[in-house]
Structure 1
Amino acid sequence: MADSNENASRVQKFQHRKGPQKKKMKLWKKIILWILAIIVAMVIFGAGLFTYYASSAPKISYNTLSSDNSTTIYDSKGKVISRLGAQNRDYVKQDQIPDNLKNAIISIEDRHFYKDHGVDPARIVEAAFSNIRGNGGLQGGSTLTQQLVKLSVFSTKASDQTIKRKAQEAWLAVKVDHDYSKQQILEFYINKVYMGNNAYGMQTASDFYFNKPLNKINLSQTAFLAGLPQAPVQYNPYTNPKLATDRRNQVLEAMASNKVITREQANQAEQTSITDGLAKKHTTNSSPDMKNEKYADAYIQQVVQELDQKGYKLNAGNKVYTNLNMDDQKQMYNLANNPTSPVQFPNNNFQIGATMVNSNNGKVVSMLGSRKQKIAFGLNRAVQTDRSSGSTMKPLMDYGPAIEYLKWPTYQAVQDTPFTYPGTNKELQDFDNKHEGTITMRKALVESRNIPAIRTLQQVGIQRSQDFLSGLGMTFDKPLELQNGIGAYISSEQEAAAYAAFANGGTYYKPYLINKVVNVNGAEKKFSSKGHRAMSQDTAFMMNDMLKGVMTSANGSGTAAKIPGLYEAGKTGTTQYPDDWIKRVPNQASMDSWFTGYTKNLSLSIWTGYDHQFKPGNYISEQQTRIAQTYYKEMMSQASVGQPNIDWQKPDNVVETRRDGVNEYYIEGHMGTAVSANNNASQSGQASKNRSVVSNSSSSKNSSSSSSNSNPSSSSQTSSGSSSKVEEPNNQSSSESSSSENNQSSTNSTTATSNDNNQNASSSSSQ
């Protein structure tokens, strides 16, 4: 009986435990079923959506896959200036394509090419893990066939990166893989890709870069061509040899990993210089209506980059309408290249970069990237940002912010007294090694004196100056420092757009070159720059009035740029050699010379100098610093023909006052601090004495000195060592200027605060 009871008890316990377990099992079954149901529903929905999207995919044919789909570029008047691809492509058939090239492309772009069916889900997963690990080889989930489809019928605009586009792309890739052999697909791809320098297809690229057909180039050159389509501008061996080398080696490593070449072959090819066999001269296949291409080389190069940024493929058959004024562009080119030009350059190595923008909308109307350049799409110096801007920075970083944030009047007293950069033993000097004492902001800017500019920046504060620059489209990788108040690393395009904000009354427009794009289907997309207020109208007007004096005052630094009768304003800028180079170059030698000037219609910024400024003999003499000014004068003279010649009107909030025979301005309610009568008299005598010293020199100069690292590739330099000097004004008559500029000042008793941050910047003395 006891055993019977015990067994019954065990049965009850087992059934008690089994009940909850059954419930749990049923719950898990339900969850799994629900998950499976959701997955099935998603698959059905996805399949239906894919089918729907695929049904509306664009048509793709042999002509679509094999045609060049060239991009036609027009100037502002609708005249063709370039056909990228149409006249510069040599089609190569599959039996003429070397196996090494095919293997290189497949290894770096789609190593499963011969096995996939147009799309490869496994490749997508593999590419994701490969990119996470940082391995070379695969660059993304798209197969080679998908890339061909993109090149043939789709753009890369961000707005096009949709599920619908991806579905259509996959469907078309499957269709192409079904309709054409793998060898035909490779043929299409090799002839379709853009290879930089206005070359389409790898046969054309081989002729351009090596003056050889594809079947005559070596393994190193083959790997270079195979890797180029990913970023043809970035991997340009003429302008970016290091990046081109890295990309070529990545292809060689992928080939070795894919076992299509041996490790020894890869190592040997990697030891070959990327410049070995690189062509120095190129033949052109341009048609007669492309005769204007040489004038607009830099402009077209920037159009190509802007198209890429907007997501347009060059071989998509688009019509691109630009803001280029071809008359102005030809003038830019001729002034820099014709032997009979009124602007004389010392030699063919002396270079220039210049950009002209419409002051009222940001349209880039002309751009010159070089002179005496034989390589198409070479270095565009108009957009380079590795040269200091000298004193052209003062209106942007020092005096503009002083008016905007501190409400300084044009006669505000500033101190031109001995100055040492805080935390260093570096003393800042001007061209004459003199100090004017207390002078006006106007005088300091017109004569481009360094010390008042830096003291002004101290009072404004680095952060507020950076905010002001940011409003003018200028941002920097590292925080700026005091030295940047007299020179920073910006391009002529950036500076032309920034000064245009002064010209139009305070609105900044980001510069742009493309006005409209029309695709092969006739769809039109227009572009413009939406302006934003970067400063008050008061600031813009008062800066304009002072910057006029740079060109009109007898002791202004930019008198060589003055165009008689034209309402204009501008600023000079030069940079001198760093301390450890001063003794290696003649006295007053400069590395860079700038001039940026503007009217109410146009803003033009010009850089001149040598690419290798530290090479013996590659310095700018005192007389040569005026080349930028002369170029501005000749260029703006033509560009202003037919344009309204209008002076800037004083805003209601700005008050005009007469001080020492000069019309000065202040913002209502903010009269600032003026120079005392006693100080004014003493400074007048001292300034006359200083000018006498300058007048006895061989010639006047508009220059600025820039203390920088001796490494010419350095993009940010820190001050150290001895004094740095600035540009000297163009003194025409010491007596003529004594009454007007000497007596406009105020005393500034405010103690300037020091900035002790260790900020990376150029230590330039500029004019």
Structure 2
Amino acid sequence: MGPNPTPPPPQPAKTILGRLRQTVTQLSRVQLARLKLAANANPPRIVIYEAGSAPRDYPLLGDYYLLGRSSKANDIPLNSPVVSTTHAGLRRVPSFLGSTFAIEDRDSTNGTFSGKKRINGQILRHREMVVLGPPELADSVRLQYVDPPTPLVQVLRYGLSGLAGAIGLVSLAVMWQWQGIQILPLPQAQRGPVIVVAGDGQPLQAIERRAHQEAKNLGEFSPYLKKALLASEDARYYWHFGVDPIGILRALVVNAREGELQQGASTLSQQLARTLYRDYVGSDNSAGRKIKEAIVALKLESFYGKDRLLLAYMNQVFLGGNLAGFEDAARFYFEKSARDLDLGEAAMLVGILPAPNRWNPARNYKTAVQRRDLVLQRMLDQGAVTLEEFKRARRSRVEVSPRAREILRSTRAPYFFNYVFEELEQLFGSGVAREGNFLIETRLNLAAQTEADRALQQFIDAQGGRAGVSQGAIVAIDPTDGAILAMSGGRSFEDSQFNRAANGLRQPGSTFKLFAYAAALEKGISPNTAYSCAPVNWMGQRFRGCRSGSGSLNMVSGVALSENPIALRVAEAVGLDEVIGLAQRLGVTSPLRKTPGLVLGESEATLLQMTGAFAAVANNGRFNHAKAITRVLDTSDCTDPQNLQTCRVMYDAQADQPGANQPVLSPQVAQTMTDLLRGVVVQGTGRSAANVPGAVGKTGTTDDSADLWFIGYVPGRNLTAGVWLGNDTRKPTDGNSGQAAAVWGNFVSRLLP
């Protein structure tokens, strides 16, 4: 751009008042033309191109400017004979992200043009050119508006354009997919139970065969059932059009805040779409499935009324076992029709919807009551029940059918059975896991499960009172693939359904020393290296010296005798970061605090996590995630419905699980660690497990003996097992880790001849 020349001087005025006004106006115009801007200022500008003259540009700092041939009447004078006395105006107007300028023709003789079109006014955009006078004339004045967008405006502009394009593409995709979905007539769901089988193919739960019953209209259901369902699952059901944008936004906010998928946004229509159109929607836990759900839901709501779709949902929703719909569930659990359900019963059935096999009242009454109360609270919050109804229902016991209790009490390995459904939800998401039509294969060894239950119960019944131990857990894993072979999550599933093997976070005590010693071996430290038995001062914490006396011990004796100062000094030598990193690579996912107490088992972990870590050492340093499920088959998609092995394989752990047999420790380090653990059983704190030939392992005891552990294996035998003993209240026991080792020996000796 050229310099900013001063506009040509006007003719002298003939009166004193005219001269005074002309002087003020001229001074302001000279200042406008010669205005010096700050270095970083970037106001809008108008660049003027006149025949025979260099371009002039004016910063537009005010709100309104007149342009024309008269220097007296205009803010920006022009020299062309084509231009009228006052030809046009520039006015500041608001825009989406601030303001811009518009040009307005002032009834000029020769007009204002954009391109070849004569205009009366127009919003100006960056680099846009307008012409004062016919564009064919050389003397016409060309004006170019210069107002480059800020980076933020550019990002927003391109972002909105991209969003509009994406919406367009999605709309086209929806229209394309829409054509292939057959809506009329409304299909029936392919009903089938969830069958979980042990390693030998035996089902873990009996499936009761019963005729499916459906209501003909919503009036055949208890009015409480509809209210409970909408309050709990889809409060805006009669408002949205199949997809709930408010629910989606809420789920996005929650999941973004938590950094993981914690909340979904499926409407009842989407859930029905998933149930009725399983072949189209699919069963994978992916965004693609959610999109297909939404497409089907939108089309369903375009063809059917809300009540018709709600009726279909209530007749076909999966409610555990071989139950489809609320009528089947009401008759099975309460021995009454769904028409006769009271408020508490209706809320309970709705409450167990997310996990009916785990939360149903016949197997897990306490959890079912908790779920009922959550639904009742939502109903109260939304005005679906009165405060009096809410209080009465909460204070009333729900009577469950004795027949249902008898059938479900016969479930084999109930803690393991429940854990299968936890894992199923991790694999496919809660939506798919609640649909039914699964054959789930496991490696559960029924003989090992029987022995685990027997060994745990036998100890608690015979010695628990003297030892102050009321609970315990046992888990056994095949180290070569991570398959769970047995899982006892407590003394009695009927008394407490909490799975202490899989979900009980407890301090692992000295079993955690495995990671410190293995990290040292990884660093090349010899197991014969001696460390002082003196008290340890580290990071502001003081620990007592060795129980076995003063002097020093090498790693071999330190592991066997479980001496804390030796483990602490070994960890100090390699660094806590190395210890934590190895524990995490070996499958410990619970939070680990970077303090010296970590080495002694201060941070909590589950028995399943710790046993999985020892299994990796048993497997020559190769780690496998502990898993209950080996294969999942879709029983609604079989070549031969009479032969379940012809059903479509939805998941195969051997093919689909990443990181199987992942090398974490070198075989040499794993072998040396095994040799160190052998000393625990031969001459150390785990001698009570010596009845199992070749056994190796590690004991663990926490402060006041609140937690008693033993985890071990027999090299070359595909079994790693862990035992925990203690109390749910964390009350100190009068026992010791040797008793945990004895339970382990009692269990394993029956399995490994």
Using the size of structure 1 for normalisation, the TM-score is 0.65
Match of 2:544 among 428, 442, 458: 428
C-alpha change, 1:559 and 1:239, in structure 2 (3 Å) is farther
Pair 1:128 & 2:249 matched? yes
C-alpha change, 1:552 and 1:21, in structure 2 (3 Å) is farther
* 1:403 corresponds to: 521
Pair 1:604 & 2:721 matched? yes
* 1:440 corresponds to: 554
Shift of 1:427: 4.4
Distance in 2 of aligned mates of 1:209 and 1:465? 50
Secondary structure of the structure 2 residue equivalent to 1:408: coil
Matches within 5 A, 1:133-144: 142-144=266-268
Matches within 5 A, 1:482-561: 482-487=596-601, 488-519=603-634, 520-521=636-637, 522-524=647-649, 525-528=651-654, 529=657, 530-553=660-683, 556-561=684-689
* 2:274 corresponds to: 150
Pair 1:161 & 2:287 matched? yes
* 1:251 corresponds to: 378
RMSD: 4.6
Shift of 1:36: 14
Matches within 5 A, 1:449-488: 449-487=563-601, 488=603
Distance in 2 of aligned mates of 1:302 and 1:574? 27
Structure 1 stretch displaced more, 448-457 or 211-220? 211-220
C-alpha change, 1:226 and 1:438, in structure 2 (3 Å) is same
Secondary structure of the structure 2 residue equivalent to 1:69: coil
On the 8 A contact 2:591/2:604 being kept in 1, the answer is no
Distance in 2 of aligned mates of 1:428 and 1:167? 61
* 1:324 corresponds to: 444
* 1:594 corresponds to: 709
Shift of 1:76: 2.0
On the 8 A contact 2:679/2:696 being kept in 1, the answer is yes
Deviations 1:702-748, CA, capped at 9 Å, x for gaps: xxxxxxxxxxxxxxxxxxxxxxxxxxxxxxxxxxxxxxxxxxxxxxx
Secondary structure of the structure 2 residue equivalent to 1:557: coil
Shift of 1:449: 1.6
The one-letter code of the counterpart of 2:694 is Y
Match of 2:297 among 150, 164, 173: 173
On the 8 A contact 2:377/2:390 being kept in 1, the answer is no
List alignment gaps of at least 5 residues for structure 2: 1-12, 14-68, 74-80, 90-102, 106-110, 116-120, 129-157, 256-262, 638-646
Deviations 1:393-425, CA, capped at 9 Å, x for gaps: 1122x21112112x222221022123356425x
Distance in 2 of aligned mates of 1:35 and 1:453? 57
Pair 1:70 & 2:193 matched? yes
* 2:455 corresponds to: 335
* 1:372 corresponds to: 492
Distance in 2 of aligned mates of 1:633 and 1:504? 20
Matches within 5 A, 1:632-671: 632-641=744-753
Shift of 1:102: 0.7
Distance in 2 of aligned mates of 1:637 and 1:133? 49
Shift of 1:548: 0.8
Shift of 1:381: 1.0
C-alpha change, 1:40 and 1:562, in structure 2 (3 Å) is closer
Secondary structure of the structure 2 residue equivalent to 1:64: coil
C-alpha change, 1:459 and 1:344, in structure 2 (3 Å) is same
On the 8 A contact 1:551/1:558 being kept in 2, the answer is yes
The one-letter code of the counterpart of 1:305 is E
Pair 1:391 & 2:518 matched? no
The one-letter code of the counterpart of 2:87 is F
* 1:22 corresponds to: 114
Distance in 1 of aligned mates of 2:400 and 2:510? 37
On the 8 A contact 1:363/1:512 being kept in 2, the answer is yes
On the 8 A contact 1:89/1:200 being kept in 2, the answer is no
On the 8 A contact 2:618/2:713 being kept in 1, the answer is yes
Match of 1:414 among 504, 520, 531: 531
Distance in 2 of aligned mates of 1:130 and 1:438? 58
Secondary structure of the structure 2 residue equivalent to 1:572: strand
C-alpha change, 1:20 and 1:73, in structure 2 (3 Å) is farther
On the 8 A contact 1:295/1:330 being kept in 2, the answer is no
Deviations 1:331-370, CA, capped at 9 Å, x for gaps: 222333479x998654997222111111112111221112
On the 8 A contact 2:699/2:738 being kept in 1, the answer is no
Pair 1:79 & 2:207 matched? no
Structure 1 stretch displaced more, 235-244 or 45-54? 235-244
Matched residues, percent identical?
22
Pair 1:103 & 2:221 matched? no
C-alpha change, 1:209 and 1:463, in structure 2 (3 Å) is farther
Deviations 1:174-214, CA, capped at 9 Å, x for gaps: 56557766445434434544567998755677789889876
List alignment gaps of at least 5 residues for structure 1: 578-589, 642-767
Secondary structure of the structure 1 residue equivalent to 2:272: helix
C-alpha change, 1:462 and 1:238, in structure 2 (3 Å) is farther
C-alpha change, 1:386 and 1:225, in structure 2 (3 Å) is same
Flag the structure with more relative contact order, 1 or 2, with Cα contacts below 8 A and sequence separation at least 6.
1
Return the structure number with greater strand share: 2
Using the size of structure 2 for normalisation, the TM-score is 0.66
* 1:725 corresponds to: none
C-alpha change, 1:130 and 1:47, in structure 2 (3 Å) is closer
